[in-house]
A and B are shown apart, each in its own frame.
Chain A
Amino acid sequence: MWHDAALVAGKDLRIEARSRVALSQVAPFGIVALALFAFALGPDRGVLARGAPGLFWVAVLFCTVLAVQRSVSVESADGARDGLRLSGIDPAGLFLGKAAAVGVQLLVLEAILVAGVVVLYGARIQVPWMVGVSCALGTIGLAVTGTLYGALSSGLRMRETLLPFLLLPIVAPVLLAGTRIWQAAMVGGSPGDGTQWLRLLVAFDAVYLAVGVILFGPIQETA
């Protein structure tokens, strides 16, 4: 399973390195989203700085949808998805590999967005490690659920509009937790404020990782 996961993750990341979609299209979109928020909420940097955690995570969610769509559409050209099924590759490995590739891309995007938020909104982060950990855990959750829903909707014609509608409510806990941890990180509050949220993120990640590893095989055959 791990060998297959590494193989698939490598393949997806190599495709991304070649085509640079995440870097040249999704990242700029993320920055544009931050700019749109600024336009919407007014030039008062105080408002923006206070809203920075939430705005960051909303921008991340938008980027997640795009990254997952891209991950799914890579497989739809030339019947590549059939090719993966035919190869008898371990479904759990396929799931982990694709989720890992999406996760890596999301981490890079988040790094860019953190920089964007700090620069554009004047957000000041007192406890950087909390931001880092929340991003890492949140990314795992987003990548994993995104891959699951991407697989479920992969065969469907209405995938583009259906995927966000299905995925975003599910990841609401990630948004809530991520935002709260960020707020604690910005205010410099004691880590105790954030730990229950971190535990929630870990639970979220664990649940959907387990679900994916167990169920990805049957899901693949459904599409």
Chain B
Amino acid sequence: MSDLEPVTDRTHGSPVPAAADTGPTPPPARSARSRATERVIGVLALVGTVFTVWLGLWVTPPDRTQGDLVRLVYLHPGVAWVALYLAFGLAAVSSVLYLWPRTRSLFWDRLAAASVEVGVVFNVCTLVSGSIWGKPTWGVWWAWDARLTLTAVLLVLFLGYLALRRIPAEPEVRARRSAFVALFAVLDVPLVHFSVNWWNTLHQGATVLNPGLTLKIHGSMAWTLLLGFVSLTLAFVWMLLVRYRIGVLEDWLDANELDAALAERRSEGAGPGHTVPSEPVGVA
């Protein structure tokens, strides 16, 4: 992951003003290794997902009770696991690591933001695939059952996080604000989970992760399910890497503007005829 850090030291907190006007720094370099890693993961994810779809749609048998509808099980729990646990968990851990003084680094903030953004995509996929599955099974597009509701609440929390990040601010301020919001959301999720569970439940019991840990699906279906999980996880990782890299580039752009602004500010002392900065000065 460190291969993706920009060349300048801007990721580790305070941007260091350039000692002299060297002009804009070059875009952060990427090692061949990181490029290769990203490509490999992307290809694996794509191949895995295609394979899962093929297996799921044609090779595996339909279920006794649910018929062909059961084929959604190869995708829906997978995206749900990614959205609810992987993306959210990663965002939570990254946010805490950002807030913790010893490990504070903008790397964690960018990782959290990328994770939440990709998580939103997977979350929506969870709700949509769940809805599609629910209509024939339960008769309704939406039901206020515990799992669905929790997923929906999580989606709203994700969106709130992203809305907060869109407000322009210095990277460190934005990172801290977002990290606090993420932390509060994390603390809330268990509470929401319990309340919504006590409130209502008509979801089927967990297919794989139930207390008895007995697999309720067998054979080729189980393998396809596993493949689906793995492929979707890889897809998440690939999207995460790409989104993270975009975040690095965005920050690099901002940092260049900062260098230019510093140079302009200093030149104010150069005597009469200097230009007044057009930005409002935050001195009042």
Contacts and interface: CB of A to CB of B under 8 A. Distances in A.
Chains A, B in direct contact (C-beta < 8 Å): yes
Interface of A: 145, 148-149, 152-153, 156-158, 162, 165-166, 169-170, 172-173, 176-177, 180, 196-197, 200, 203-204, 207-208, 211, 215, 218-219, 222-223
A152 B180 contact: yes
Nearest to B187: A207
B157 interface: yes
A162 B156 CA distance: 12
A165 B194 contact: no
17 contacts: A152-B180, A153-B164, A157-B167, A162-B160, A165-B160, A169-B156, A169-B188, A170-B157, A172-B192, A172-B195, A173-B192, A173-B195, A177-B195, A197-B195, A200-B194, A207-B187, A218-B176
A102 B88 CA distance: 31
Q: Kindly list the 10 A-B residue pairs having the minimum CB-CB distance in the complex, ordered from nearest.
A: A173-B195, A176-B195, A173-B191, A169-B156, A222-B176, A166-B160, A170-B188, A204-B191, A207-B187, A176-B199
A152 B181 contact: yes
A200 B191 contact: yes
A196 B199 CA distance: 11
Contacts of B160: 162, 165-166, 169
A163 to B, nearest CB: 10
Nearest to A79: B284
Interface in B183-198: 183-185, 187-188, 191-192, 194-196, 198
B198 A197 contact: yes
Contact of A208 (B153, B159, B187, B195): B187
Contacts of B195: 172-173, 176-177, 197, 200
A204 B191 CA distance: 7
A166 B164 contact: yes
A203 B187 contact: no
Given A152-B177, A156-B167, A172-B192, A211 B198 contact: no
Contact of A170 (B176, B185, B199): B185
B270 interface: no
B173 A222 contact: yes
A110 B180 CA distance: 29
Nearest to A164: B160
B163 interface: yes
A43 B183 CA distance: 44
Given A157-B167, A166-B181, 14 more contacts: A152-B177, A162-B160, A162-B167, A165-B163, A169-B153, A173-B188, A173-B191, A173-B195, A180-B199, A204-B191, A211-B183, A218-B180, A219-B180, A223-B177
A84 B189 CA distance: 32
A208 B192 CA distance: 14
A170 B157 CA distance: 8
A149 B157 CA distance: 13
Given A169-B156, A173-B192, A203-B191, A211 B167 contact: no
A82 B159 CA distance: 30
